[in-house]
């Protein structure tokens, strides 16, 4: 039986395409690029969301930053000034010092805490790494100190012989290698002033030839250094001095002892402990003990580096107690009071406090303190004595820690705020002394002219209506 042939379906009946004919494109045509660009133009990408685990730390960081900025702005203010209201000399000098009288001291956020600023600046401040020429000065008692001058190739070859000279006295165990000292030398050089750093016995690798270091009241070495520097540059137009911390205390003691007889024409004291009993008691509180232990460790290192000189020392010296000295008071009890003839540590602190010498200072003296200094507390500042002496001016910044002062154009890790304030004030003093030497009339009242006029030397300065700028060749 024959079956009918199977008919192809409609799909099967579709004619096949010849292989030599091009196959139609299977995908849709590409959209117009211009239309696509216009469609997406101006459409913001969705913000990237923080993962949940990062939101809390980010919020905390933002809050801490806002709090730090707020705290810094709250503390921004013009330094507090104290001086004899009847002193026309002090008032006239300050009139050329906008850094002290007009411009706010603006601390850096995150560096307003006394301890944070003190420690962070000590560790992170930039170091100019200046080169020095060392001069060893043998003292009358057989000892020696080191005077470091900025290297001749960098300073003395292009500073005239009559350039002003400033002697710098670092703090306890400090020296010419400390960053705050190096910045001060650099700043002095920038305004044409020759700087000499006085390194006390044993500090900054200075030699120790006798069983004696230095103390808060021993001014013998300071006197010899000042006289030597003055004799080394007899044509210098001016001789200044500036000290920090213990160096400031020693300097003010010296100025009080010498009175108007000192060859120094103007001086600056910074972060001065003033009352050693108050300051030492302050060091025994809370976190401040860290500074006490650290400074005592520095004293021990200096002592142990020269321990042979003390091995045969006669009583009451107790070199055997030094390795166990954990505080400055311990060291003073073992060595300092016996080296300088004090009956007790308390008697030494009372008799060595420079606050008691403020009434005897007879040259222009600027004292700069930080209200939150953890080592030289504000409670030790002799406000009454300063206001009673027409030669002395006090400026207190709202913060600054100890040797910090991270504010101004050098903040936070460059030169401290004090560098600009000090050079500005010294230049203004020079102008005032020059005007009074020329017979410029001064306002009435109890001023400091009678004390400072005799010490004035010829000066060259340039002044402006808002402040003082140093001439290229010095003040």
The mean per-residue pLDDT over the stretch 168-172 comes to 98
Range scoring the smallest mean pLDDT among 6-10, 311-315, 342-346, 422-426: 6-10
Return the pLDDT at 462. 33
- Selecting among 88, 176, 217, 245, the annotated active-site residue is 245
Return the pLDDT at 455. 37
How many C-beta atoms surround the C-beta of residue 106 within 10 A? 16
C-alpha triplet 35, 40, 43: angle, nearest 5°: 155
Return the pLDDT at 169. 99
pLDDT at 51 over 80: no
402 among known catalytic residues: yes
3 among known catalytic residues: no
**Does a cis peptide bond (omega within 30 degrees of 0) precede residue 316?**
yes
pLDDT at 276 over 60: yes
Q: What is the Cα–Cα distance from 255 to 273, expressed in whole angstroms?
A: 16
- Selecting among 402, 415, 419, 461, the annotated active-site residue is 402
249: its two tokens: 């205390």
Residue 151: name the closest of 134, 169, 173 by CA.
134
Helix (H) or strand (E) holding 122, with range, is helix 114-124
pLDDT digits (tens, 9 = 90+) for 2-50: 444 445 444 444 444 444 444 444 455 555 555 544 545 555 566 666 6
Q: What is the CATH number of domain 74-274+355-469?
A: 3.40.50.1820
pLDDT band for position 237 (50/70/90)?
Answer: very high
How do strand 392-397 and strand 80-83 relate by DSSP bridges? antiparallel
Out of 63-72, 143-152, 195-204, the most confident range is 195-204
What average pLDDT is seen over the chain?
85
469 among known catalytic residues: no
Strands (E) in 235-359, as ranges, are: 239-244, 266-270
How do strand 365-370 and strand 239-244 relate by DSSP bridges? unpaired
pLDDT band for position 310 (50/70/90)?
Answer: confident
pLDDT at 441 over 50: no
pLDDT band for position 318 (50/70/90)?
Answer: confident
The mean per-residue pLDDT over the stretch 84-104 comes to 97
Range scoring the smallest mean pLDDT among 301-310, 338-347, 376-385, 440-449: 440-449
Alpha helices in 157-219 (DSSP H): 179-190
Confirm if 176 and 298 have CB atoms less than 8 A apart: no
294-329: b (≥16 Cβ within 10 Å) or e: ebbebbbebbeebeeebeeeeeebebeebeebebbb
Return the pLDDT at 153. 61
Residue 81, SS3 per DSSP: strand
pLDDT at 187 over 80: yes
Return the pLDDT at 446. 45
Higher pLDDT, 188 or 43: 188
Residue 96, SS3 per DSSP: coil
The structural domains of the chain, with segments of one domain joined by +, span 74-274+355-469, 276-352
- 213's CB contacts (< 8 A; 6+ apart) are 200, 201, 202, 302, 303, 335, 336, 339
Higher pLDDT, 370 or 153: 370
Return the pLDDT at 62. 64
- Selecting among 221, 275, 292, 373, the annotated active-site residue is 373
């Amino acid at each position: 039986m024959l079956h009918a042939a199977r008919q192809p379906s409609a799909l099967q009946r579709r004619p096949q395409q010849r292989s030599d004919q091009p196959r139609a494109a299977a995908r849709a045509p590409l959209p117009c690029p211009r239309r696509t660009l216009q469609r997406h133009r101006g459409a913001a990408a969705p913000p990237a969301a923080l993962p949940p685990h990062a939101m809390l730390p980010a919020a905390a960081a933002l809050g801490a930053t806002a709090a730090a900025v707020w705290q810094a702005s709250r503390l921004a203010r013009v330094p507090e000034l104290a001086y004899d209201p009847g002193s026309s000399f002090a008032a006239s000098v300050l009139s050329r010092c906008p850094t002290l009288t007009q411009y706010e001291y603006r601390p850096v956020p995150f560096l307003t805490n006394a301890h944070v600023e003190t420690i962070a600046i000590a560790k992170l401040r930039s170091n100019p790494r200046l080169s020095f020429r060392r001069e060893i000065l043998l003292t009358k008692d057989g000892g020696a100190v080191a005077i470091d001058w900025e290297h001749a190739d960098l300073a003395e070859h292009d500073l005239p012989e009559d350039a002003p000279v400033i002697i710098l006295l670092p703090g306890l165990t400090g020296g010419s290698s400390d960053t705050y000292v190096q910045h001060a030398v650099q700043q002095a050089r920038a305004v044409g002033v020759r700087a000499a750093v006085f390194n006390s016995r044993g500090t900054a690798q200075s030699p120790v030839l006798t069983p004696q270091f230095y103390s808060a009241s021993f001014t013998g070495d300071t006197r010899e250094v000042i006289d030597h520097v003055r004799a080394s540059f007899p044509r210098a137009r001016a001789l200044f001095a500036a000290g920090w911390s213990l160096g400031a205390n020693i300097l003010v003691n010296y100025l009080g002892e010498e009175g108007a007889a000192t060859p120094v024409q103007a001086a600056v004291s910074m972060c001065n402990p003033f009352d050693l009993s108050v300051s030492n008691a302050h060091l025994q509180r809370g976190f401040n003990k860290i500074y006490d232990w650290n400074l005592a460790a520095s004293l021990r290192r200096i002592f142990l580096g020269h321990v042979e000189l003390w091995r045969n020392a006669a009583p009451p010296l107790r070199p055997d107690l030094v390795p166990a000295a954990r505080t400055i008071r311990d060291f003073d009890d073992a060595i300092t009071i016996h080296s300088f003839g004090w009956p007790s540590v308390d008697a030494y602190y009372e008799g060595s406090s420079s606050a008691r010498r403020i009434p005897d200072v007879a040259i222009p003296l600027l004292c700069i303190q930080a209200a939150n200094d953890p080592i030289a507390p504000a409670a030790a500042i002799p406000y009454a004595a300063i206001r009673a002496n027409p030669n002395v001016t006090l400026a207190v910044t709202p913060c600054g820690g100890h040797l910090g002062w991270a504010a101004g154009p050098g903040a936070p890790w460059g030169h401290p705020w004090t560098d600009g304030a000090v050079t500005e004030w010294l230049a203004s003093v020079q102008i005032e002394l020059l005007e009074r030497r020329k017979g410029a009339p001064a306002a009435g009242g109890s001023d400091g002219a009678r004390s400072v006029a005799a010490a004035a030397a010829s000066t060259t300065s340039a002044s402006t209506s808002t402040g003082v700028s140093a001439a290229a060749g010095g003040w």
